Amino acid sequence: MTDTAEVVVIGAGIAGVSTAYQLTQQGLTDVALIDPRPPLSLTSDKSTECYRNWWPNRPMVGLMQRSIDLLEQMTEESGNAFGLSRHGYLFVTASDERLQAMRRQAAVTSGLGAGDVREHPGALPYGEAEDGVDILDANTLQRHHPYMTDEAVGAVHVRRAGWFSAQQLGSWMLQRSRDVGANLLKNEVVGIELDGDRVRGVRLDDGSTIATSSVVMAAGPMSKAVATMAGVELPLFSELHLKVAYRDHLGVIPRDAGMIIWSDPQRITWSEEEREGLAELGRDDLLGEMPVFCHGRPEGGADSPYFVALWEYHREILEPTWPLPDDPLYPEVVMRGLTTMIPGLSPYLEGLPESSVDGGYYTKTRENRPLVGPCGPEGFHVVAGLSGFGVMASPASGDLAARHIVGADLPEYADAFRLSRYDDPDYLTSLSAEVDTGQL
């Protein structure tokens, strides 16, 4: 039984596993990773598993660039055990005005260090770029992505982006950590013990205690509650997010497509009878204008018939509970939304393909930036608020947390993710002006 550890990590989701791995990379191997659930099984295996360096502010671009660097490094070390792809994100619009706004945003994000902007048609061909962004006019879009609606006037193709298996990445990091001495304990942390204003240990549900001077709290949707055990109040809330996997037996979505995103609001065309039925069910949320960003991507290899899709029209802030509140109409509503972008999917409106829904919570701060670093009593650290980007941000977040703990050099974005940022009145003022949080 481990009764002391140099560092205790609470939570073996992708955030906790990545932190444990990065601690071992910093040479610290006496690490106890504690979770009552199987590793990666609460939120981290429910994600769409996508990544991008395309964010609307400098700290998030910096964090994601570092994360992608680490993902690429681990891809090499592991022989691509987690299938990192680089298909990109394709933001599509049917509005000239929106395309202009996307073009302006591209210039801003490029200026934050996310790579060059290339217009098509233009000086360079629209090819296999690894970085930056390609802006496509309607003709270029149709020529290269003929499955798109001809209503589309253009698109923005983000290139340092794609997806990978979060479960495989997590398993690889966990195994590597255990190989050098990290311990995984199947327990719940029920208390954090303090000695004055410093951490002394954690109490487990079996009545035992682990003495430690460093605790990293990475409890995902439970982060707010677990932090209070150390007397720390985290400004976090949770939103329910679902995703649906369809069996595309008609083979409509090309297997080499990227993450495809309809960037306009839209209205679903329901028959009069359907409208009445939905109104009776109290589903007025489906009758008016629906939000932007109905999106999806192929899932699995070249022979797989599956694709996964999301459309965040719920926008519900909830106390996390399981099983998740369900929405029986989700597969149908998302398919209708996708058909606006990909008319070839319309046969599925007559008979939905086989589908399955899962999901979880985006636990987040109001400005959608994570909390990483020390806070509260000495020795207490958090990796939390990873929202809808925790899979892509975990490598850099774990790296940042580990650097804080061992006292290594910190990257320039470190302060932007501390809890203490909310003590700065200028930061709070800047938040009220910020509109784009980068969330899909």
Ligand X SMILES: Cc1cc2nc3c(=O)[nH]c(=O)nc-3n(C[C@H](O)[C@H](O)[C@H](O)COP(=O)(O)OP(=O)(O)OC[C@H]3O[C@@H](n4cnc5c(N)ncnc54)[C@H](O)[C@@H]3O)c2cc1C
Q: What are the residues binding ligand X (CB under 6 A)? A: 10-16, 34-37, 42-44, 46-50, 188-189, 218-222, 226, 241, 243, 359-360, 386-392
What minimum distance in Å lies between the beta carbon of 377 and ligand X? 17
What minimum distance in Å lies between the beta carbon of 241 and ligand X? 4
Q: Cα separation of 173 and 25, whole Å? A: 10
> 210 is written with which tokens?
């682990």
DSSP string, 114-181: I--EEEESSSS-S---SSSEEEEEHHHHHHH-TTS-TT--EEEEE-SEEE--HHHHHHHHHHHHHHTT
Pairing state between β 117-120 and 133-137: parallel
Q: What is the dihedral of CA 22, 47, 300, 307, to 10 degrees?
A: -160
> Cis (ω within 30 of 0) for the bond into 323?
yes
Q: How many CB atoms lie within 10 A of CB 227?
A: 24
Q: Cα separation of 390 and 13, whole Å? A: 10
Closer of 148 and 161 to ligand X (Cβ): 161
Collect all residues with Cβ–Cβ distance below 8 Å to 385 and sequence separation of at least 6. 223, 234, 236, 363, 364, 365, 369, 370, 371
What minimum distance in Å lies between the beta carbon of 187 and ligand X? 7
Closer of 12 and 396 to ligand X (Cβ): 12
Q: Cα separation of 224 and 195, whole Å? A: 22
Closer of 328 and 425 to ligand X (Cβ): 328
What minimum distance in Å lies between the beta carbon of 279 and ligand X? 28
What minimum distance in Å lies between the beta carbon of 123 and ligand X? 33
Residue matched to tokens 């570092």: 66
Closer of 34 and 286 to ligand X (Cβ): 34
Closer of 36 and 121 to ligand X (Cβ): 36
Closer of 180 and 225 to ligand X (Cβ): 225
Residue matched to tokens 């070390």: 77
What minimum distance in Å lies between the beta carbon of 191 and ligand X? 9
Closer of 126 and 164 to ligand X (Cβ): 164
What minimum distance in Å lies between the beta carbon of 12 and ligand X? 5
- The answer to whether residues 126 and 147 touch, using CB atoms and an 8 Å cutoff, is no
Pairing state between β 31-34 and 183-185: parallel
Closer of 23 and 278 to ligand X (Cβ): 23
What minimum distance in Å lies between the beta carbon of 66 and ligand X? 14
- The answer to whether residues 51 and 161 touch, using CB atoms and an 8 Å cutoff, is yes
> 420 is written with which tokens?
């203490």
Structural Rg of the chain based on CA atoms: 22
Closer of 126 and 380 to ligand X (Cβ): 380
What minimum distance in Å lies between the beta carbon of 84 and ligand X? 13
